[in-house]
A and B are shown apart, each in its own frame.
Chain A
Amino acid sequence: MKILSLKQVNLSLNGRKILQNLSMDFWKGRVHAVVGPNGAGKSTLAATVMGLEGYRKVRGEILFEGESITNMGIEERAKRGITLAWQEPARFEGLTVETFIRASAREKSDAEIQRVLQVVGLNPDEYRNRAVDRTLSGGERKKIELASILAMRPKLVLLDEPDSGIDVASLENIFEAIRVLRKDGTTVVLITHSLAVLAQAEHAFLICDGTLIEEGPMEQIRPYFEDKCIPCNHKNIPEIEGEEHGDE
């Protein structure tokens, strides 16, 4: 069953076409990956689905559970069950990890806070009272953001480069979180250029220059991506996008 559909979605930023006639279907409860080289438009796609500021002047249509969300703001999309984890999560001066997670948690109990922190490999006793600020490393903030998403129990989550800033030892915690989300029935969209992350997906889209090149089971897409054998006139201009959302 389709949960999210993009129908001929086009988006231009600063006069440059970033997404071009993108049509994609995401299926409920599945783990999808969106792969492609730097500057392909992956993070822009995530920002567009979430409806972030500056990414809403879309031509085409975005449907969520059959309803058009094209003209909706972030809040309305989030209330329908869509959320996004940024490649580089925000810092929140003065907010504790516990307060931050509780703000988005569907169930606000202590046990739930403990559960989600444990899933991402953080010791609740050590982390719940720490501030979500510069005293945490990028990897720790990434895990905390993921914990807040686990607590939110969304219908669809876009994870932008979920392994960025994560050390090898902690990567398994991120993958465990993806498994838990899937088990909870959440549709997961992994925005990645990592083969290890791609391997977590069941289905993948290969995009380049904002255009869908190929889609299919992960095993089918992997060789294209692995060999960087992309049959298109790709021009990698990372400075055009990625400043805000990290797609280098």
Chain B
Amino acid sequence: MEMSELLKELNMDEALRDPDTAHLVIERNRVVSSHWVQGLEVKTEEIENGVEVSVRVREGTVITKPVHFCFGVTHKRALQRIVMHVHVERGAKIAVLSHCMFPKAEDITHVMEADITLDEGASYVYREKHIHSPDGGIEVYPRATITLGKRARFATEFELIQGRVGKIDIDYAVTCGEESTMEMMTKISGRGDDDIKIRETGYLVGERARGVLTSRVAVREHATAEVYSKLVATAPYARGHVDCHEIVQDQGVATAVPVVEVKHPKAHVTHEAAIGSVDTKQLETLMARGLSEEEAVEFIIQGLLS
């Protein structure tokens, strides 16, 4: 399957033809297609096994339509490394819709190394959706270091519910400046022998900084998941919340380690974690409406990950 066919399947081809929508399509270590709009500067350089991308959103620029990124490998075996530098300047706003596609993966490693800086009042919303092959055969290593300036807003949503996970090891760290806001949501569904590790850390260092770390994970069959979510608040009126919910079915194993550290008497951080099988009342409600147990479980998991 070629990249163009994949894009068509995702209904992305239309967006890619739109002159007002910026996009970047990378297949393995090759930039297949790119298009930029005013105020958005992007440089790409092909490196060994990947591409280095530098994104700059100029001061005050508001990109009205979501920018489309697509990183993929259409081969069965490959290493893909994406090195991403993002700088959203003062008052600029950008939203990115990113697809990572590995439909034929048998032995693929995908590494993402990102450093992201948001200046005062900047906003960066990043939605990343992974589409893997039904057989696993892939290892994914997303790494990101994010720094938020005063009143900046960073929101990210990572979704991997289509195809097998294989192995994923996410490691994100965000430092939140004064009155900035950070929201990170991760949704992953594992089965077979999938191996899921999520490490997310937020440092609320600025006065009135706010952060929420949310994870929703389902593990079935023999899949395993470890979720480490940490929020450290060191400034007055910093507010944070860690929310982790994992559903375990069959022989799946899940671990959640929420850590909250408060180093200022006027800061406040909370956490909640729930791990277990599907809630009995939810299950019985759906079964009392005529769904089979399997259908009800699937329904509940899909809801959790939706």
Contact = CB atoms under 8 A, between A and B. Distances in A.
A94 B303 contact: yes
Contacts, number: 64
A13 to B, nearest CB: 15
Contact of A75 (B285, B292, B304): B292
Interface string B275-306: 00001111011111111110000011011111
Given A93-B304, A94-B303, A104 B290 contact: yes
Contacts of A99: 303
Given A83-B288, A92-B300, A152-B290, 15 more contacts: A75-B291, A75-B292, A78-B287, A78-B290, A90-B279, A92-B282, A93-B245, A94-B303, A94-B304, A94-B305, A94-B306, A95-B300, A103-B299, A145-B285, A149-B289
A246 to B, nearest CB: 11
7 contacts: A52-B284, A75-B290, A83-B290, A92-B300, A94-B216, A94-B303, A95-B306
B34 to A, nearest CB: 35
Interface residues of B, number: 23
Interface in A83-121: 83-84, 86, 89-95, 99, 103-104
Residue of A52, A74, A89, A99 most packed against chain B (CB within 10 A): A74
B293 A75 contact: yes
Contact of A89 (B285, B293, B299, B303): B285
Nearest to B286: A103
A148 interface: yes
A75 B283 CA distance: 10
Contacts of A152: 289-290
B245 A78 contact: no
A53 B284 contact: yes
Interface of A: 50, 52-53, 73-75, 77-79, 82-84, 86, 89-95, 99, 103-104, 145, 148-149, 152
A78 B288 contact: yes
Contacts of A74: 284, 287-288
Contacts of A75: 287, 290-293
Contacts of B245: 93
Nearest to B287: A74
A50 B288 contact: yes
A78 B292 CA distance: 10
Contacts of A78: 287-291
A223 to B, nearest CB: 34
A124 B99 CA distance: 33
Residue of A52, A75, A78 most packed against chain B (CB within 10 A): A75
Contacts of A149: 289
Residue of B284, B288, B291 most packed against chain A (CB within 10 A): B288
Contacts of A91: 282
A53 B286 CA distance: 14
A148 B280 contact: no
A232 B46 CA distance: 86
Contact of A90 (B216, B285, B304, B306): B285
A148 B289 CA distance: 8
Contacts of B293: 75
A82 B300 CA distance: 21
B286 A84 contact: no
A80 B245 CA distance: 34
Contacts of B302: 94
Contacts of B290: 75, 78-79, 83, 104, 152
B195 to A, nearest CB: 24
A160 B192 CA distance: 40
Residue of B216, B280, B290, B305 most packed against chain A (CB within 10 A): B290
Nearest to B291: A103
Nearest to A91: B282
9 closest Cβ pairs, A-B complex: A104-B289, A94-B303, A95-B303, A94-B306, A90-B281, A74-B287, A78-B290, A90-B282, A90-B285
A91 B304 CA distance: 11
B302 to A, nearest CB: 8
Interface in B45-80: none
Residue of A53, A93, A145 most packed against chain B (CB within 10 A): A93
B289 A103 contact: yes
A73 B284 CA distance: 10
Interface in B189-235: 216
A75 B305 CA distance: 24
Contacts of B285: 86, 89-90, 145
Contacts of A90: 279, 281-282, 285
A82 B289 CA distance: 8
A50 B286 CA distance: 12
A210 B46 CA distance: 76
